[in-house]
Structure 1
Amino acid sequence: MGSRSIGRRARSVYPVLLFLGPALLAGCATGDRPTAPTNAWSGPRATATPSGNATPTPTPGTPSPSPTRTDLRHVFPVRADNVAYHPTHAGYPGTDIFADCGEPVVAVTDGRILEVSRVDRFDKQGPLGPYNGGLSVSLLGDDGVRYYGSHLSAIATGINPGVRVRAGQQLGRVGHTGNANNVCHLHFGISPACTGHNDWWIRRGEIWPARYLDSWRRGGNRAPATEVVAWQRKHGCPKAPTTTSGAG
């Protein structure tokens, strides 16, 4: 090929290179990063439950399960050396923690006080259920779990609804008020905070506490939040008790 022919071809290619040059340089500068397609769906998606199923839309009027935190410190609810408890409970999930009357009852974790009962309204001739607990305190932990303690002999000064407490802070003292059969113990219940007020059939306990108590007593930090959220997703917030049995 002659030198004149090569020169003509080079002159014809040169304008094309001038046109494409900036685009090629821009591609190199960005590393050819892909961009999201303009029709990508960015709306909400269903979240998976532990079983892998999509979370159903909550029923109107039913509170959604609370967000959970698993990094919170948890402590055993009675600060005493001589304590005993059984892994089961009559009628519904819960645990009776037996200790001497007057032993300190403490907050299981950081949170906010939901309900306080300073008056023993239990009457054996009256309806079973609403006042079984006698003097009691319920705490909404920062993990979204409600912790309930009842049959107290006293409530600590300053423990009122809305007050913030820390793990290990004293809430009251072990007693035998309410339907405690005159035996000193703390009824301890774990549940979702559904209405957070007067839903005694949920507040008294919906998941078995023993394995968490076992952990906390050994200085461990097993957290019930995941189990509580799973229970609420399955059952919602029952509007009435299924049984009035039990002493909580």
Structure 2
Amino acid sequence: MRVDIMRSGHIARLAAVTGAVLAAGACGSPAGVAGVSTVPPAVAAEAAPAPDSVTATIPAPEPGDEPAATPAVTPPKGDEPVQVPPPKVSEFTYTFPVQGCDTSYQSKLLVLPKTTIWAAKGCSFVSPVDGVVHEVNIKNRWRPSTDRGQDREGRFVTVLGDDGVLYLGGHLDAVAPGVAPGVRVKSGQVLGQVGNSGNARDTASNLYFAISWKTEPSLWWVRRGMVEPWDYLDAWLKGNRTLSPAAETRALIERVGAAPKCAILCAAKATPDPKPTRRAKKPVEESKPVTP
């Protein structure tokens, strides 16, 4: 009998304690089922630090303790760049055809595939490459009344280069002494002086410069220019002295033939027929009476 009473009393005390715990849990939970926490995990994690964790407070920096600014780094000056010569693209060495003077020229097609190199009168026209003098004209035969194509360059010299290309320098003021057909010349050798002979007589002095191939003098329109020269002039002037027009010249010959017909500025002006002169009539002498 006593055992039952003691057991019932123990159960009653256990029930009372359990009820108090449940009541406390219900009051501490914001909402939801009693005994189940609705606090977000992050908040719970902050509220309950992990075992063996250490909490520290970092003090604010004192005035004057700020880190110093990193100074700018100036790289040391290196050596000047080494000027590397352009690659050699041919076995020939070329020279810009006007030496000793300031020059200018246009890099575009105007009428003929040639260029006009503007330079002061008396500047040196030199051979662009090693070769042999082909044609020389020391007389200024051009006349505006006829404007013959073969005379338009005035005084000129052509050189057949060792590269197989013909080079023309026209509008010369004079041809250098000793320059004659068949004479061998070197690249840079003076062939004449810049002027304005031929149909350039009303312009500033200049060099008519053209690239073509060897022909008979009767095919004068070929020597006046067949290959556009400015890319080669640019290269020779800026230091690439091995850029050669030989390949382009050979390709053009294969396309148009060695003796193409004249297509631009071919005809000369018609020569006016001279007017017949009238002979003056002799005055009729009056007959005079004869005195016996």
TM-score normalised per structure 2: 0.58
Out of 171-180 and 89-98, give the one that drifted further.
89-98
Compute the displacement of 1:218 (Å): 1.2
What SS does the aligned partner of 2:248 have? helix
Paired residue secondary structure (2:199): coil
- Contact (CA 8 Å) 2:101, 2:120: kept in 1 or not? no
* 1:92 correspondence with 2:112: yes
Where do 4+ consecutive residues of structure 1 move more than 2 Å?
237-240
**Residue 132 of structure 2 corresponds to which residue in structure 1?**
112
Q: Which has the larger radius of gyration?
A: 2
- Find the counterpart in structure 1 of residue 142 from structure 2: 122
**What's 2:162 paired with?**
142
Instruction: Point out the more displaced range, 171-180 or 231-240.
Output: 231-240
Aligned to 1:55: none
Alignment partner, residue 60 of structure 1 = none
State the Cα distance separating 1:239 from its structure 2 match: 4.9
Counterparts of 2:257 and 2:93, CA distance in 1: 27
Q: Give the residue type in structure 2 aligned to 1:190.
A: I
How far 1:186 sits from its partner (Å)? 0.1
* Pair 1:186-2:207 in alignment: yes
CA distance in 1, matches of 2:151, 2:162: 27
Deviation, 1:200, is: 1.5
Match of 1:240 in 2: 261
Q: Is the 8 A contact 2:116 2:206 kept in 1?
A: yes
C-alpha distance in structure 1 between counterparts of 2:136 and 2:218, whole Å: 11
> 2:21 maps to what in 1?
none
Aligned: 1:220 with 2:240: yes
Tell me which residue corresponds to 1:172: 192
Q: Are the equivalent residues in 1 in contact too, given 2:127–2:159 (CA < 8 A)?
A: yes
- Which structure has the higher relative contact order (CA within 8 Å, separation 6+)? 1
The 8 Å contact of residues 128 and 244 in structure 1, kept in 2 or not, is answered as no
Cα distance, 1:108 vs structure 2: 0.2
State the Cα RMSD in Å. 1.7
Tell me the distance in 2 between the aligned counterparts of 1:159 and 1:214: 27
Distance in 2 of aligned mates of 1:120 and 1:191: 22
List runs of 5+ in structure 2 lacking aligned partners.
1-88, 267-292
Name the counterpart of 2:219: 199
Aligned length: 177
Distance (Å, rounded) in 2 between the aligned partners of 1:208 and 1:171: 22
Which residue of 2 is the match for residue 43 of structure 1? none
Equivalent position SS for 2:98? coil
Q: Which amino acid aligns with 1:227?
A: E
Q: Per the alignment, in what secondary structure is the counterpart of residue 234 of structure 1?
A: helix
- List alignment gaps of at least 5 residues for structure 1: 1-68
CA distance, structure 1, for counterparts of residue 188 and residue 153 of structure 2 = 22
State the alpha-carbon separation in 1 of the partners of residues 237 and 199 from structure 2: 26
Counterpart amino acid of residue 204 in structure 1? R
